[in-house]
């Protein structure tokens, strides 16, 4: 039996990995004014973040309909796959996984298993990559799901935002709190672990970075570390250098976060995804 892997454009895996492993990526939507764009297809991340502060209307994001998923599942069936594993951004953050579930229920040709990654960005992407590599090794759906359960439990994502302004613009927080945050120069830290989003607020960027370092200290030893940022590659590299004593020598990826997520974060965000080592 052969298993195909499907995900969505919030996974933030490098295109080279997607191509190498034959992963099917279903794009979400970004709406800017009266124009609609397919995430990762019709607009570059650099262009989006460069123009984001100047958009007269804040971009909105959207989930594809069931037909997008069913069409992808049909294509893979036609290619000869006998099972599909569809892994998506946490349902706490997006309706995407529920749309995939509905599509899977309607699709009758071959079995489709839909998983909530409990994560976002590369927190999802690392699960997708692991699943694809295990599928290529001929592992069963049961074996792949067991491996992903373990990986999900050890994955942690955190990022410090440069400003509260874009959370306010996107409607993801109380506008009064956004005003207070701007006045006090608060720097929010957003976290995600095992399906549970979290947030903290500190007063300055140095304090936010110190808190991120503390989070790394609390999660030792670390098996995997990758950088995440929103059009802030140099700042991300600077943080990596600060954290060098806490992370593996090899930083696997440094990824610009998808605009679908970045529309809420704004430019200048810096963070990471880690996988803690299994207890001895």
Dist. CA 130–CA 143, nearest whole Å: 12
**Does the pLDDT at position 45 exceed 60?**
yes
Q: What percent of the chain has pLDDT over 70?
A: 94
Report which DSSP code applies to 268: T
Determine the 3-state secondary structure of 192 from DSSP: strand
| Confidence category of residue 57, pLDDT binned at 50, 70, 90 | confident
Class of domain 155-276: alpha beta
pLDDT tens figures, 92-110? 999 999 999 999 999 999 9
The confidence band for 176, taking pLDDT boundaries of 50, 70 and 90, is very low
| Fold equal for 3-28+63-153 and 155-276 | no
Token pair in block for residue 119: 């994560």
Domain 3-28+63-153 has CATH 3.40.1190.20: no
CA–CA distance, 185 with 162 (Å, rounded to integer): 9
| pLDDT over threshold 90, residue 250 | no
Domain ranges of the chain: 3-28+63-153, 155-276
What share of the chain has pLDDT > 90, as a percent?
72
Alpha carbon distance 241, 237 (integer Å): 6
pLDDT attached to residue 40: 83
Max mean pLDDT range (31-40, 114-123, 199-208, 241-250): 114-123
Q: How far apart are CA 144 and CA 131, in angstroms?
A: 6
The predicted model gives 11-22 an average pLDDT of: 97
Q: DSSP string spanning 73-135?
A: HHHHHHTT-SEEEEEES-TTT-SHHHHHHHHHHH--SS-EEEEE-S--THHHHHHHHHHHHHH
Q: Which pairing describes strands 35-38 and 29-32: parallel, antiparallel, or unpaired?
A: antiparallel
Q: What is the DSSP letter of 39?
A: B
């Amino acid at each position: 039996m052969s298993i195909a892997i499907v995900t969505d454009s919030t996974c933030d895996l490098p295109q080279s990995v997607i191509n190498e492993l034959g992963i099917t990526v279903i794009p979400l939507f970004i709406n800017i004014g009266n124009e609609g764009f397919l995430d990762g297809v019709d607009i570059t991340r650099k262009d989006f973040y460069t123009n984001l502060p100047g958009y007269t209307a804040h971009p909105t994001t959207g989930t594809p309909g069931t037909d997008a998923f069913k069409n992808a599942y049909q294509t893979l069936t036609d290619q000869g796959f006998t099972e599909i594993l569809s892994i998506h951004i946490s349902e706490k953050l997006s309706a995407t996984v529920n749309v995939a579930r509905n599509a899977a229920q309607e699709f009758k040709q071959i079995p489709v298993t839909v998983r909530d990654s409990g994560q976002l960005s590369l927190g999802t992407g690392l699960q997708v990559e692991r699943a694809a590599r295990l599928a290529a090794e001929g592992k069963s759906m049961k074996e792949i799901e067991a491996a992903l359960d373990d990986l999900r439990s050890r994955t942690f994502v955190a990022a410090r935002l440069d400003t509260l302004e874009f959370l306010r613009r996107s409607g993801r927080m109380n506008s009064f709190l956004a005003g207070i945050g701007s006045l006090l120069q608060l720097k929010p830290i957003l976290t995600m672990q095992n399906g549970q989003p979290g947030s903290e607020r500190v007063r300055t960027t140095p304090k936010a970075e110190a808190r991120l370092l503390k989070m790394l200290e609390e999660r030792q030893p670390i098996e995997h570390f990758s950088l995440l940022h929103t059009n802030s590659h140099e700042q991300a590299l600077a943080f990596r250098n600060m954290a060098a004593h806490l992370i593996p020598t090899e930083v696997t990826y440094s990824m610009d976060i998808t605009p679908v997520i970045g529309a809420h974060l704004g430019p200048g965000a810096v963070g990471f995804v880690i996988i803690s080592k299994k207890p001895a």
